[in-house]
Amino acid sequence: MYSSCPPPKCGTTWMQTIVSLLFSGDPEVETELSVKMPWVDIRIREMSEVAERLEAMQHRRSMKSHTPMDGLPFDDQAQYICVFRHPLDAHFSYRKHVHNISMTWFDTWFPEDDAEGITIRRFLDGGAEGFDGDAMPLANILQHYKAVSALAERPNVSLFHYADMTTDLAGTFTRTCQICWAFPTPKQTWSNLFRPQRSTT
């Protein structure tokens, strides 16, 4: 089982896509991340629905979580991959992301007209848990990092950085391949697998 558990907008979907490509060995695969790698702690789906998706999997199980590592069950037989990004980059990517979502409750935390700097103040001053968690403040990102750093020496916990993924995509594929024990056949060359992969966040 593979679990991706970074903070939001740090490269989660990108890493999920890499894992999906490695599992399939097919650069044309339909990743269907929401089905093949369910987001287990999303609050707009019933937990029973997510559990059913996991139970029905016929392939290697994988899932996504934005819960810090100290809030997840730890299993020595699972692999935990955590991707981190410069907090300011993650913050501004998150702001762009929520402005593209038609859910009005985000307007409180990320107003379009923010002359008073409400959004950046929430980012800098917000707490690691509770109400401000949905605004993804700096303290929340640091809590993620502290939680995974405490387990970083475990052989089944791996940390990646968004900047490294951007500058060395082939190296990211190679390392992820070794972590997940997903080795392409000789015909499935690295260039074919990682050529389509470029982050858009």
Distance CA 16, CA 197 (A): 11
Alpha helices in the chain (DSSP H): 12-24, 33-36, 47-56, 87-99, 106-109, 118-125, 138-149, 162-167, 169-180, 190-194
Which DSSP symbol is given to 32?
Answer: -
**72 backbone φψ class: left, alpha, beta (φ>0; ψ -120 to 50):** beta
Annotated active-site residue 66? The verdict is yes
- Which residue among the candidates 59, 66, 99, 144 is catalytic per the annotation? 66
- What phi and psi values does residue 98 have, to the nearest 5 degrees? -70, -25
In which element (H, E) is residue 161 found?
A: strand 157-161
Q: Contact at 8 Å (CB) between 18 and 173?
A: yes
Catalytic residues: 66
